[in-house]
Structure 1
Amino acid sequence: MREVMEALNEAFSDGRRVAMATVVRTQGSAPRAVGTSMLVTGEGSPIGSVSGGCIEASVIEQAATVLATGVPELLHFGISDDDGFSIGLTCGGSVDIFVQAFERATCPGFASLQKALVENLPCAMVTIFEVAPELLGRSGLVHQGSAITPLFAGAGFAWDVVQAADSAVQEAIASGRSTSVTLPAVTGSDERLSLLIDVFRPARRLVIFGAVDFSASLARLGAFLGFHVTVCDARAVFATPERLPSAHDVVVDQPARYLQKEIALGRLGPDAAICVLTHDAKFDVPVLDVALREGFAYIGAMGSRRTASDRRGRLLALGHTERSLARLRSPIGLDLSASTPEETAISIMAEVIAARHQASALPLAFTSDPIHKGLGERAALAPHPGGQPSSSPTCGVGQELQLPPLRNNQNENILT
């Protein structure tokens, strides 16, 4: 829902009814993730997308029916049975789309969701999309640590079903990933209760240490990708909002001290991305020491291979081990032969994204697995600590591709 929040709020403010189509279940190579939404106005105009374009026309048609009747619909799309290019997915996967009419009076949780987003509170909008007809489309906001019970008021579900649903919602909020879950509506029965758990969490933090030329481009790309971007540098002459207009926060402080304070205040979660661009031992070694001991999801440091080797020796002298240093991505970024600040930013953020999803970062043409995979499926593709893939990729005819050896962080940064 996040991608259509602004349009949904405008429709509510104008008193317009819209239909919202949301991806609630996927299998195989589905083009969009669970929780992705598209709005359809009464005039049939779409806002957003639920696929790569192959099923939108059918969804818009069904949305018009839902707006006319007020009855929600659960739509299923797989690869079409005839030629693969009629109404259906052409990518080989399948997707379920839940379409419901939306207006402020029938969505009491929307105002609470807006308030939670302003306050940066982790929560989930939970919607029933498969169960008895009278409960279809019922939704409510559930905060982290609060109970789902109000959503099921008067529904007559057994306590064990409510508990299972509550656990699923809290697990989804903790993971930060929207998902769906299907439970027996009544213990031992075939009737199913399916819930969309659309998770909203504070923006992931991207903390850039070093207000160098590359930082402005990295901040701009990070903000574009939805990160909350902070740039920190001890040198006030460089750390200015004018030089870093895309950063949400520009901080003048010693990098290691600032990072320690943010950790102590609980403002940096384990999913934070730490990028050290100072390539100066007196700044980057202390801050990397702190970051590595905390164990963030991504820790990268700019510099040539010579700089990276020297930095590695200094960190070993501080008590780090080869195992702990395996988390450090240095030289930072993927091997794109990047040279400009903009290209380097893409190289770094591509590696941040790959690390988050445990992806191989290989060209898709050199892989044969589904393009759109869940986290569990991606884990098998994650590079080994030594940098070698688990198996050699093969092309479609079974001939082994001759690729250059895969190494983590191949690129040579131009700064020393």
Structure 2
Amino acid sequence: MREVMEVLEQASRRGRRVALATVVRTEGSAPRVVGTSMVVSDDGALFGSVSGGCLEASVLEAARDVLASGKPELHRFGISDDDSFAIGLTCGGTIEIFIQPFTPDSFPHYAALQLALRENLPCAMVTIFDGPPELVGNSELVLEGEEFRELFGVGELPPDLVSAAAVAVQDAIASGTTMPFTLPAVVGMGLPLSLLIDAYRPPRRLLIVGAIDFSASLAELGAFLGFRVTVCDARAVFATAERIPAAHEIVVDQPGRYLRQEIELGRIARDSAICVLTHDAKFDVPVLDEALRHGFAYIGAMGSRRTARDRRARLILAGHTEETLAPLRSPIGLDLSAATSAETAVSIMAEIIASKNRASGLPLSQTNQPIHKGAPTLDGEYQSQPDCPAQPDCPAQPDARPTALLSVLGADGMCP
């Protein structure tokens, strides 16, 4: 939902009636990930995309019905359908889209979600999209560590099923993964009950050490990809907002000391990316020592292969071993033969993305894996995937978070 929240807020301020269409389950090579949303207004305008143009016209028609009836609907599209070629979903996947009217009454917790996002609180908006009609469309905001209060009504479900759903929600919040979750049929209700757990976490941090020319491009690309970017350099003359305007924070401090303080204060999570661009031993070694001892998701350092060897030798003198140095990616980035600072930023961010997804970084034309790895199946389970070709001990991991891209489509459902 995140990618259409601005549209929802504008519609609410203007008193417009809108329907919210969200991808809730996928299987195979579906065009959009679970959690991706689109808004249809009462005048037929579309904002966002649930299929990249394949299904928008069909979803528009269904959304009109929802706006007319005021009742949510679940729609399923796939290559096995007789009209799959007519609607354009020929990629071989299956996608389920939940369409619901969006009003203050249907989303009483929406204001709480906005507040939680402003305060960077990990949370999930949980919506029942399939099951007993009296429960379908119910939603509730759940904060990290909290329990359900009203999603299932009073005494509607056995406590063990509510507990199972609560565990799934907290797991999704912890990982920042939006996903469907299905509870088994309950005696007396007759239908399984499916939830969309739309998880939100504070933006992942990107710490860039060294306020050099490459840092400006890396900060810009990192911010574009949704990271919260901090640039740290001990040299005040270089560490300025004028030189690196895309950074959210510019810190003038010894990088090693700054990182240690952030760790001690609990302000930098282990999923952060640490990029050391100074290639100066007096800055590099202390901050890399701290980063390696703490164990961040990505740790990279710029420099030639000679510089990288010298840096490793200094870190070994500081007490590291080949095993503890294994997470260090140096020279930093993927092999793109990057010549400019912008190309170098692409090389680095591509490696960060590949590292997060435990992907090979190889051209897709040279792999035989599914393009969308680890997409949840229609049962809410993750598909097993083959090992990464370049890293036999590195299984592919799912990344089902909502897309951050907002596109505006024409009334016919096609890209303008």
- CA deviation profile, 1:289-337 (whole Å, cap 9, x unmatched): 1001111111010001110111111112222222221111110001111
Q: Distance in 1 between matches of 2:35 and 2:64?
A: 21
Residue 208 of structure 1 aligns with which residue? 208
Q: How does 1:80-119 map to 2 (within 5 A)?
A: 80-82=80-82, 85-87=85-87, 89-119=89-119
Residue 145 of structure 2 aligns with which residue? 145
Alpha-carbon spacing, 1:72–1:84, altered in 2? closer, same or farther (3 Å): closer
More relative contact order in 1 or in 2 (CA 8 Å, sep 6+)?
Answer: 2
Q: Distance in 2 between matches of 1:42 and 1:138?
A: 22
AA partner of residue 312 (structure 1): R
Query: Given that residues 256 and 290 in structure 1 are in contact (C-alpha distance below 8 angstroms), is that contact kept between their aligned partners in structure 2?
Result: yes
Q: Distance in 1 between matches of 2:169 and 2:28?
A: 23
Q: Distance in 2 between matches of 1:75 and 1:8?
A: 22
Per the TM alignment, residue 93 of structure 1 is displaced from its structure 2 partner at its CA by 1.2
Residue 241 of structure 1 aligns with which residue? 241
The normalised TM-score by structure 1 is: 0.90
| Residue 388 of structure 2 is aligned to residue 381 of structure 1 | yes
AA partner of residue 241 (structure 2): P
Per the TM alignment, residue 383 of structure 1 is displaced from its structure 2 partner at its CA by 3.8
Q: Distance in 2 between matches of 1:103 and 1:113?
A: 14
Residue 408 of structure 2 aligns with which residue? none
Q: Distance in 2 between matches of 1:22 and 1:323?
A: 44
Residue 229 of structure 1 aligns with which residue? 229
Residue 297 of structure 2 aligns with which residue? 297
Residue 372 of structure 1 aligns with which residue? 372
Classify the secondary structure of the residue corresponding to 2:323: helix
Q: Distance in 2 between matches of 1:296 and 1:379?
A: 25
Classify the secondary structure of the residue corresponding to 2:343: helix
Q: Distance in 1 between matches of 2:367 and 2:53?
A: 24
Residue 359 of structure 1 aligns with which residue? 359
Per the TM alignment, residue 266 of structure 1 is displaced from its structure 2 partner at its CA by 0.7
Q: Distance in 2 between matches of 1:165 and 1:36?
A: 21
Structure 1 portions without partners, runs of 5+: 391-416
Residue 132 of structure 1 aligns with which residue? 132
Q: How does 1:7-406 map to 2 (within 5 A)?
A: 7-82=7-82, 85-87=85-87, 89-154=89-154, 156-186=156-186, 191-374=191-374, 377=384, 380-381=387-388, 383-384=390-391
Per the TM alignment, residue 52 of structure 1 is displaced from its structure 2 partner at its CA by 2.1
Q: Distance in 1 between matches of 2:326 and 2:284?
A: 17
Per the TM alignment, residue 9 of structure 1 is displaced from its structure 2 partner at its CA by 0.8
Q: Distance in 1 between matches of 2:235 and 2:300?
A: 21
Per the TM alignment, residue 190 of structure 1 is displaced from its structure 2 partner at its CA by 5.4
- CA deviation profile, 1:63-97 (whole Å, cap 9, x unmatched): 11101111111111111545852225211111111
Q: Distance in 2 between matches of 1:8 and 1:155?
A: 32
Q: Distance in 1 between matches of 2:159 and 2:83?
A: 47
Alpha-carbon spacing, 1:252–1:72, altered in 2? closer, same or farther (3 Å): same
Per the TM alignment, residue 382 of structure 1 is displaced from its structure 2 partner at its CA by 6.6
- CA deviation profile, 1:150-185 (whole Å, cap 9, x unmatched): 212236111111111111100100111111100114
Q: Distance in 2 between matches of 1:372 and 1:293?
A: 33
The normalised TM-score by structure 2 is: 0.90
Equivalences, count: 388
Query: Given that residues 274 and 298 in structure 1 are in contact (C-alpha distance below 8 angstroms), is that contact kept between their aligned partners in structure 2?
Result: yes
- CA deviation profile, 1:89-145 (whole Å, cap 9, x unmatched): 211111111000001232111000010011100000000001111211110100000
- CA deviation profile, 1:166-218 (whole Å, cap 9, x unmatched): 11100100111111100114169852010000011101100000000000000
AA partner of residue 284 (structure 1): D
AA partner of residue 347 (structure 2): S
Per the TM alignment, residue 257 of structure 1 is displaced from its structure 2 partner at its CA by 0.3
Q: Distance in 1 between matches of 2:279 and 2:199?
A: 37
TM-align CA RMSD: 1.9
Q: Distance in 2 between matches of 1:50 and 1:290?
A: 42
AA partner of residue 259 (structure 2): L
Moved more, 52-61 or 237-246: 52-61
Alpha-carbon spacing, 1:379–1:221, altered in 2? closer, same or farther (3 Å): farther
Q: Distance in 2 between matches of 1:302 and 1:261?
A: 23
Q: Distance in 1 between matches of 2:386 and 2:207?
A: 26
Per the TM alignment, residue 33 of structure 1 is displaced from its structure 2 partner at its CA by 1.1
Classify the secondary structure of the residue corresponding to 1:293: helix
Q: Distance in 2 between matches of 1:232 and 1:379?
A: 39
Q: Distance in 2 between matches of 1:379 and 1:117?
A: 36
